[in-house]
Structure 1
């Protein structure tokens, strides 16, 4: 950037101004001018209009004189002072507005944006107004009942229940437990297994109630695959939606009957398991037992004389139903995923990026930092989770949705303000 300073006479200055314009001004190029007095400005305008025609340079008058800063270190110090000291870590727009009133240098807006986007304190303490949009992925296909269970804890009116839902039929159960310790949870799982058999896989959240030797040894003994979701409710979304629905059933029952929690929950589960599911158009009980009447499973095949033939027919019919339900569920999954992934803006994380993780304690304590870190992304898994490594080389698995996006470029989220 070139700065032109000239001292021009107050009287008879037409030739001086003309020579200055011809020597330093190029056609159609922008120039910013500051005049010490109004008379000089009028003389300049008069001479300019006589000197140039169509290819004239473009002049803009500045009414306030600001400081040009050319030293890079001084530029960074000014940004830091206005961002950290004078505005208590305010955003890009406010910091830029304060600076541009007093100072100027090329790419001022870009430097302000880059500095604030890399501010570690801002990353940890401020809300993320534009959380990452992670493309959804199709989960593994489920073909039959009790292939996969989703399990969690649910507390209402001071009573805790172990909630279990079958991912295929959506059949749910809620068992009251005395405490959240591993022994009570293991005993309750055994009760469930005695009713419905051993599943292939169980999905838990990452709570310590399930991540312990007692529960894991029990499942390993029965050769049950274990999957722990990171701190991310959507990864165990089936049971989270069940909790939302069962709460509605519970409230309705409480409005009409003032029963204790255990009894109310039994009737809530009964209502849930007899409700038609939006995807399958069948109730969980119908899909599990293969008939639409809970009174007599033989009613569907009343014309079959022999139990052996009934068993064969029942098996074939159930296989057909399960195949159709599998297709229906898969189509619904793909429909939801395609709709979500069609959104124009998706956040992409890469190995080696520096990121911050959402602090789970911040929702309950507003004085806590909103995010923890920094961390380095060491690897990215196919299920939208990643392995983070901190400065002490400790590693943890988290869902990508729980990360603050990496330092962004100059996007619409952090707009670059034009220089006026």
Structure 2
């Protein structure tokens, strides 16, 4: 134990004072550390926890905390107990503790998404809905947005509702202005995946593409 730690313990034991400028957490650590020492005849003694008892104590403590993130935060134990070298003891014990290893969070590999490449206008058009929004004076509460992936040109259409018929009318309006795209990208919502829209795309020879669920970056 270093000289500074000894002085902190002695000052607290003899004079009941802490070093200046400490946080409440730092004071708490010194207080808990000092509880494992005794002063007898002017000498400072450390009350040593036997190795066997230390192991049993760790076993009990880790078992009761296994539902927490003890493998990430040994402070869950450090906040309650102290002995020199305890953090290293905790790490070694947790590494050998079967419940700790089976309950720890499993790291998932991030799914790799490839960027969408387009070479010309109307090769790919993305489509999505915004809403439900505040009702306008015209009775609209949704916005249908269509974007050409090559030019980044966007068209927005106000909608009363997100029925298949209203969404199809937006598609037709876009097609009348710019022509039919080779491919139309939407999510898997019923306003896009229905017989009306599928039939329209089939007649015009448009390929349908559906983006991954819960991955809005696709659009």
Give your verdict on TM over 0.5: yes
The residue aligned with 1:139 is 116
Which residue, out of 66, 73, 79, partners 2:49? 66
The residue aligned with 1:101 is 82
Where do 5+ consecutive residues of structure 1 fail to align? 1-33, 43-60, 125-130, 237-420
Which residue, out of 164, 174, 180, partners 1:182? 164
Q: Partners in 1 of 2:82 and 2:37 — Cα distance?
A: 18
- 1:179 is displaced (CA, Å) by 1.1
The residue aligned with 1:220 is 202
The answer as to whether partners of 2:128 and 2:145 remain within 8 angstroms in 1 is yes
The residue aligned with 2:151 is 169
Q: Partners in 2 of 1:73 and 1:65 — Cα distance?
A: 15
Q: Partners in 2 of 1:89 and 1:149 — Cα distance?
A: 46
Q: Which has the higher contact order (CA 8 A, sep 6+)?
A: 1
Give yes or no for the alignment of 1:233 onto 2:210.
no
The answer as to whether partners of 1:151 and 1:204 remain within 8 angstroms in 2 is yes
Q: Under a length normalisation based on structure 1, what TM-score does the superposition of the two structures give?
A: 0.33
Q: Partners in 2 of 1:182 and 1:73 — Cα distance?
A: 66
Aligned pairs, how many? Answer: 171
- 1:36 is displaced (CA, Å) by 9.2
- Evaluate the alpha carbon distance shift between residue 164 and residue 105 of structure 1 in structure 2; reply closer, same or farther with a 3 A threshold: closer
Q: Partners in 1 of 2:100 and 2:77 — Cα distance?
A: 10
Q: Under a length normalisation based on structure 2, what TM-score does the superposition of the two structures give?
A: 0.57
- 1:89 is displaced (CA, Å) by 5.6
- 1:118 is displaced (CA, Å) by 5.3
Partner deviation per Cα, 1:235-264 (whole Å, 9 max, x = no partner): 22xxxxxxxxxxxxxxxxxxxxxxxxxxxx
Q: Give the root-mean-square deviation of aligned CA atoms.
A: 4.4
The answer as to whether partners of 2:74 and 2:90 remain within 8 angstroms in 1 is no
SS at match of 2:208: strand
Where do 5+ consecutive residues of structure 2 fail to align? 1-35, 136-140
